[in-house]
């Protein structure tokens, strides 16, 4: 369920906040709230590393045009069957990103456009966080009707990179449901790309009863 967030060192947090205040006072667009600063500290361990990571994220957000992605109706419409931010939440209040793996294939997508759509979904879900309660997300990979032709490793690599570099500690739990036996070979590859902390958040759910520990199954889409 909701794991206790690892506390950050109070002095480290104070130093990071002071550094970021100097930056944000000069450019308000650089501002990160306390929850965000703590996520970066948990992910990057030291004040210097967290500070540099935040500056890199801010630069990336500007260059990538993150805040304008919601206006790109063409990409949002084109890839709307690849992932969806659900209206409902999981049992501890996390926003849910639902990904039906059967709709994915490396042969029918533009990797740059699909990555923009993924960022759009991460942004949408992150904005739905009640950060005072829980500031991370639930991602559900539904492997119902999954075949090996649906296995898009590059998209997964991009998602892992985004979560680790620009949405650190945003992943609360990743549920893999309806996984066929042969997916174990794919998972062996994917797991090698994950750090220990991220891998520990991935849970294979093997029954509806187990799924009920995390969310109400009826909230998952049947029209994708």
- DSSP character at residue 33: -
Under 8 Å between Cβ of 153 and 181: no
Does 2 have pLDDT greater than 70?
A: no
Two structure tokens written together for 122 = 């991460």
- DSSP character at residue 8: P
Two structure tokens written together for 49 = 């590393």
The yes or no reply on domain 71-217 and CATH 3.40.525.10 is yes
Tell me which H or E stretch contains 150: none
Which whole-number Å values give the CA distances from 97 to 47, 60, 127, 221, in the listed order?
30, 22, 12, 11
Q: Give the percent of the chain with pLDDT over 70.
A: 98
Instruction: Please give the distance of CA 65 from its chain centroid, rounded to a whole number.
Output: 18
Under 8 Å between Cβ of 170 and 126: yes
pLDDT digits (tens, 9 = 90+) for 70-92: 999 999 999 999 999 999 999 99
Using DSSP bridges, classify how beta strands 95-100 and 171-177 pair: parallel, antiparallel or unpaired: unpaired
**pLDDT band for position 1 (cuts 50, 70, 90):** very low
> DSSP 3-state assignment of 216?
coil
Tell me which H or E stretch contains 133: none
Domain boundaries, the chain: 10-64, 71-217
pLDDT digits (tens, 9 = 90+) for 164-180: 999 999 999 999 999 99
Does 16 have pLDDT greater than 70?
A: yes
pLDDT of residue 3: 55
pLDDT of residue 4: 61
């Amino acid at each position: 369920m909701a794991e206790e967030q690892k506390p950050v060192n109070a002095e480290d947090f104070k130093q990071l906040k002071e550094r970021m205040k100097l930056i944000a006072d000069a450019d308000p667009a650089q501002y990160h709230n306390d929850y965000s600063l703590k996520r970066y500290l948990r992910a990057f361990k030291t004040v210097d590393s967290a500070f540099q990571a935040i500056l890199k994220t801010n630069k990336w957000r500007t260059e990538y045009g993150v805040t304008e992605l919601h206006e790109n109706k063409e990409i949002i419409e084109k890839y709307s069957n690849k992932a969806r931010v659900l209206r409902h939440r999981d049992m501890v209040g996390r926003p849910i990103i639902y990904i039906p793996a059967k709709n994915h294939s490396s042969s029918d997508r533009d990797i740059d456009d699909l990555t923009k759509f993924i960022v759009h979904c991460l942004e949408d879900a992150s904005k739905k966080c009640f950060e005072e309660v829980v500031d991370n997300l639930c991602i559900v990979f539904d492997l119902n009707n999954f075949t090996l032709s649906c296995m898009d490793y590059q998209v997964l690599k991009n998602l892992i990179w985004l979560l680790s570099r620009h949405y650190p500690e945003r992943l609360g739990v990743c549920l893999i449901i309806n996984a066929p036996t042969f997916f174990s070979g794919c998972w062996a590859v994917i797991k090698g790309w994950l750090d220990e902390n991220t891998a520990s958040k991935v849970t294979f759910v093997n029954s509806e009863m187990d799924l009920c520990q995390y969310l109400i199954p009826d909230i998952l889409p049947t029209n994708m």
